[in-house]
Chain A
Amino acid sequence: MIDRRLADLVPPFLFGLVILALWELVVRAAGVPTIILPAPSAIAARFLVSIPTLAADFWQTIKGLLAGYIVGCGSGLVVAILVDRSDFLRRGLLPMGNLVSALPIVGIAPIMVMWFGFDWPSKAAVVVVMTFFPMLVNTVAGLESASPMERDLMKTYGASDWQTLTALRLPAALPFIFNALKVNTTLAMIGAIVAEFFGTPIVGMGFRISTEVGHLGIDMVWATILVAAVTGSAFYGLVAAIERRVTFWHPSFRAKGA
């Protein structure tokens, strides 16, 4: 099984290598100036000499990102459970949540910078707002997803609302909750980085990108983007791995697992 999964990785890996090789070749052969497109080797070299700077940027951005992600997802989950008690609130809040989820929320970044200052709390605030609504909408939908028969079963046991919630509806909602957690990893990355375009102390991945672009230090921009890409994928991968462990029973994982 492990072998199969490894085998599946070979073509994309090779494809990536070919692209990198072509990139290097074209840049060198055509003499593309670094300020337009640096060669992969140049980016790697820049990365290696800039590790301390990149690490400082990473920690600065990750602070706001994680704080915002935890608060945003957590409050979305709690509000969803509260809203779920009232059909009236659900009818009122759900269309709002759906609407807001489609809005360009990153735009609130300048307001958050004014309210919470240049440091990471303002970035966390942007991330909170961005991650809250997807979590709310998904959890409410998830809590609705238990089948009528499963609910009737709880009713025949004379189960209380709280027992029905903990024994049936929350577990049934887990796939939806994890869906929101996964979507939110990307949204949190976007929020944390873009919010830094609007002002930071002189550190952070978004800050680094916007200033180095100004100095035409394109190789440093690429090095920062590399860090952002690896961070984003790792964050997503971590949540997906937890999902696989927690919702192992879901049909989408059974086929591979059992």
Chain B
Amino acid sequence: METASIVKPATHGVGSPPPPGPAIEVSDVSLRFETRDGPVQALAHVNLKVERGEFVSFIGPSGCGKTTLLRAVADLETPTEGDIRVDGMNTEEARLKRCYGYVFQSPALYPWRTVAGNIALPLEIMGYSRAEREERVKKGLDLVNLSGFGNKFPWQLSGGMQQRASIARALSFDPDILLMDEPFGALDEIVRDMLNQQLLRLWEMTGKTVLFVTHSIPEAVFLSTHIVVMSPRPGRITDVIACNFPRDRQLEIRETPEFLAIANRVRLGLRAGHSYDA
């Protein structure tokens, strides 16, 4: 029944250039959850355009809908109103065409597969040949500095290494877009700094479009080309801050006045969102 999607690797990201236009376009999206205590407005009239190759961070207190927005882009939630376009397609088409890779809060690696087997999982599902799988797994392991760990099982690795493996898994089928939901939230700060640098380098090398949910201000400022500040109840965008550091930025820029100025503006935006709420 789904032979088409099994037989041919269907993402246009492989080989062919992405279509023109913005990578992601969110138009007037609202999303309500029906819970036992009545409806909860998770998103209200969100508008956003993400250009190709951008690194956009979403920041806000918990409950502000940033994860919900990311999940809606990934077709894991369905908006009650409004429209989301990914590479010009609706979200379901984009998901079935494998336009994006998703990295969750926790690595969600399957314990019964080796690290290499986990990275190969999406490739198996998408019907890549064995030879190509092996090649891509090797490339993926190199990309996240896990060469030599392919035959280990996930539970034999540290938390940071596991999350790196899950990034390699998301990148293995070479999607244009990377959706990351607080991928480093559970890691300690030293590991997080290191992974932030590696992620930046990876982004620079591959030119992917990245949507990145976080609740760390320095992380958002350090990584992003744009920072989207959100506020809760109902979840909406209060500010979009441009952040034009050079792409090969180093950790040291966090001491510069420009960096601190942007961080301060984010902080003020978050506070304003809260006072509105209170």
B272 at the A interface (CB under 8 A) = no
Give the residue among A147, A159, A168 with the most B Cβ atoms within 10 A: A159
Query: In the complex the two chains form, what is the Cα distance from A249 to B157 in whole Å?
Result: 13
Question: Measured between C-beta atoms, what is the minimum distance from B13 to chain A in Å?
Answer: 13
Interface residues of A in 141-189 (CB under 8 A from B): 147, 149-150, 152-160, 163, 167-168, 171, 174
Q: Which of A147, A158, A249 contacts B155 (CB 8 A)?
A: A249
Residues of chain A at interface, number, CB under 8 A? 23
Within 8 A of B (CB), among A222-258: 247, 249-251, 254, 258
Residues on B with C-beta less than 8 A from A152 are 71, 74, 76, 102, 104
Q: A163-B125, A167-B124, A167-B125 are in contact. Are A156 and B95 (CB under 8 A)?
A: yes
Residues of B within 8 A of A156 (CB): 74, 76, 95, 100-102
Q: Given that A152-B76, A249-B112 are contacting pairs, would A160 and B102 also be in contact in the complex, using a CB cutoff of 8 Å?
A: no
- By a beta-carbon cutoff of 8 Å, the part of chain A in contact with chain B is 147, 149-150, 152-160, 163, 167-168, 171, 174, 247, 249-251, 254, 258
Per-residue contact bits, chain B 208-252, to A (CB 8 Å; 1 contact, 0 not): 000000000000000000000000000000000000000000000
The list of the 8 closest CB pairs from A to B, nearest first, reads A249-B111, A156-B102, A160-B2, A158-B96, A249-B112, A157-B122, A159-B125, A171-B112
B154 to chain A, nearest CB (A): 8
Q: Identify 13 residue pairs between A and B in the complex whose beta-carbon atoms are under 8 Å apart, listed by A's number.
A: A150-B108, A152-B71, A152-B74, A152-B102, A152-B104, A155-B75, A157-B121, A160-B2, A160-B5, A167-B110, A174-B112, A249-B153, A254-B155
Distance in angstroms between the alpha carbons of A156 and B77 in the assembled complex = 12
A8–B233 Cα gap in the complex (Å)? 58
Interface size on B, residues (CB 8 A): 30
Contact of A158 among B98, B105, B121 (CB under 8 A): B98
Measured CA separation A107–B27 after assembly (Å): 66
* B contact residues around A251 at 8 Å (CB): 155
Q: Is B205 an interface residue (CB 8 A)?
A: no
Q: Are A171 and B104 in contact (CB under 8 A)?
A: no
**Distance from B125 Cβ to chain A, minimum over Cβ atoms (Å):** 5
Question: Given A158, A171, A249, A258, which contacts B95 in the complex, CB threshold below 8 Å?
Answer: A158
CA distance A163 to B102 in the complex (A): 18
Question: Which residues on B sit within 8 Å (CB–CB) of A150?
Answer: 108, 110
Q: Shortest Cβ distance from A236 into chain B, in angstroms?
A: 23
Say how far B58's CB is from chain A's closest CB, in angstroms: 18
> What residues of A have a CB within 8 angstroms of the CB of B74 in the complex?
152, 156
Residue pair B5, A247 in contact (C-beta under 8 Å):
no
Q: How far is the CA of A147 from the CA of B97 in the complex (A)?
A: 24
Task: Name the B residues within 8 Å of A149 (CB-CB).
Answer: 104-106, 108
Whether the Cβ atoms of B108 and A167 lie closer than 8 Å is no
CA distance A160 to B1 in the complex (A): 9
A258: chain B residues at CB < 8 Å are 155-156
